[in-house]
Amino acid sequence: MPRTAALKPEQVPADCKQTLDAFAKTIGFTPNMMATFAQSPIAFNAWATLLGALSKALDVKTRDSIGLAVSEVNGCNYCLAVHSFTAEHMAKLPADEIAFARKGHAIDPKRDAAVQFARKVIETRGHVSDADLKAVRDAGYTDANVIEIVALVAMYSLTNFFNNVFDPEKDFPAVTPAGSL
């Protein structure tokens, strides 16, 4: 059960309205997470700015795969549902690749290196080994790309933690528990 209510459209602070409306136009509705997050214009707009900037990082399949891996580690069922939905409908990943990403892997070797590295970043709280860093670089990622992977891990963790704390009402199709994948 949600720990705080999502804002109704007439309750959205003016500082968040334009950004929230843009998300709703793109997605087709206003997700409860965003309508809840908008209670703090400072936090919501900071997150939205980061999301917009990082939407240019890497490719959509890699970004969604990282989101799935990080959300699995952080135990965020809301984000797992969102990322599973976007991975299927926007990144066009098949169901087996979505399940694989949740386990911290990808079928594509280069994407696999990024997803494995992202999972190690979240699991070790950034204390990755030299071998971990070498593996992602050897797969063809530049230091700028590695920084983007770390930033994606941080951004996805922010929404994971937010959703784990406030537990907004689910408005994306539920996903299978990880134990049965």
Residues 6+ apart with CB under 8 A from 12: 20, 35, 38
CA distance 171 to 30: 9
Tokens of 40: 């703090």
Identify which has the larger pLDDT, 73 or 174: 73
Quote the pTM value.
0.93
Which residue in 158, 82, 96 sits closest to 122, CA to CA? 158
Confidence of residue 179 (pLDDT cuts 50, 70, 90): low
CA distance 95 to 9: 34
Specify the range with the lowest mean pLDDT, choosing from 3-12, 51-60, 128-137, 155-164: 3-12
Using one digit for the tens of pLDDT, what is the confidence trace for 105-114? Answer: 999 999 999 9
Do 92 and 180 meet the contact criterion of CB atoms below 8 Å apart? no
